Amino acid sequence: MNIDLKALELFCTVARELSITLAAQRLGRAPSNVTTRIQQLESELGVSLFLRKNKRLHLSPEGEQFLVYAQKILSVSEEARQILHPDKPGGSLRIGAMESTAASRLPEALASYHRKWPEVALSVTTGPSAPMLEAVQARSVDCAFIAPAVGTEGKENSELSSMGLVGQPVFREELMLVLPEAHPPITSAADVAVGSLATFRPGCTYRSIAEEWFRKGGVNPSSIPNIQEVGSYHGMIACVCAGTSACVIPKSVIELLHEPVGIQQIPLKTIDTWLVWRENYDTPALRELISILSGAHATQGR
């Protein structure tokens, strides 16, 4: 019973790289050592973590199970380490974010964070709000920027706390319906006449909001023929410029485009972006993020 946090990191790296040499290189140590420590971990646990087939590694079923636990242990101990030093941000901060936030809001904030605290290893993962919330719970990220699900306005805090999370609003986004330039001006949802609605995959809150808007305007969203799933905001805009689609995008993202040409925008709704984290995850690195975001507000709205 002598497992080492270093051994767990080593295992996680090998599991990610699926190569002893690459892992060794990334960890800055000799491959022979990596081999030995993995073998030692395996004998300690009494299972094979990897299947060696023809000099190539795969995770064994046990390895996959153990990987989850190894990451959890590392995450808890990283949290502990930070809690013990309430003054100095340090260690790592794994941030989850919606695509839109990552595009429009984070670059500036994270750059200034990194300038101030270069010793904090920031990482960003993007995805829709719902899976991001699960990722926070599951400790695969430490905090996340999300849009509360439709219909939860005003009770975000109780929603979060029932998941063991807490959070606060940090950005206010103005959601725009984006239409081709040539589209006749509209006064209601019923006037929208396009071939498809370009959106991200389901789970995206903005997509639900778009559908709700059509529903409230008396339009059955399923009457918008093809919901066309696109992988990026640039892709969406392209679809709109092509004249066949509409899409819903926060104003702040549209402003990023060098020339918002070939499109017209109609405000749909304003919606808050929340930063959420696990209850008790009260680390200096996170507090610093929050404080930087609050500073930003002074200059950039909300």
Partner DNA sequence: TTTCAATATTCTCTATTTAAGAATTAAATT
Partner DNA sequence: AATTTAATTCTTAAATAGAGAATATTGAAA
How far apart are the C-alpha atoms of 76 and 117, rounded to whole Å? 22
Contacts of 242 (CB under 8 A, 6+ apart): 180
Region binding a second copy by CB under 8 A among candidate stretches 80-88, 117-125, 146-154, 224-232: 80-88
Q: What are phi and psi of 184, to 5 degrees?
A: -60, 145
How far apart are the C-alpha atoms of 184 and 216, rounded to whole Å? 21
By CB under 8 A, residue 62 contacts a second copy? yes
How far apart are the C-alpha atoms of 147 and 248, rounded to whole Å? 14
By CB under 8 A, residue 51 contacts a second copy? no
How far apart are the C-alpha atoms of 82 and 89, rounded to whole Å? 7
How far apart are the C-alpha atoms of 209 and 117, rounded to whole Å? 37
Closest distance to DNA from the beta carbon of 17 (Å): 8
By CB under 8 A, residue 81 contacts a second copy? yes
Question: Of the two residues 3 and 254, which places its CB atom closer to a second copy in the complex?
Answer: 3
Among 12, 13, 26, 31, binds DNA (CB under 7 A): 31
Among 5, 36, 270, 291, binds DNA (CB under 7 A): 36
By CB under 8 A, residue 113 contacts a second copy? no
How far apart are the C-alpha atoms of 276 and 96, rounded to whole Å? 10
Among 1, 2, 118, 151, binds DNA (CB under 7 A): 2
Tell me which H or E stretch contains 172. strand 165-180
Contact 136, 278 (CB under 8 A): yes
By CB under 8 A, residue 85 contacts a second copy? yes
Closest distance to a second copy from the beta carbon of 120 (Å): 15
Binding residues (CB under 7 A) for DNA: these are: 2, 4, 6, 19-22, 28-33, 35-40, 50, 52, 54-57
Binding residues (CB under 8 A) for a second copy: these are: 1-6, 9, 45-47, 62, 65-66, 69-70, 72-73, 76-77, 79-81, 83-85, 162, 164
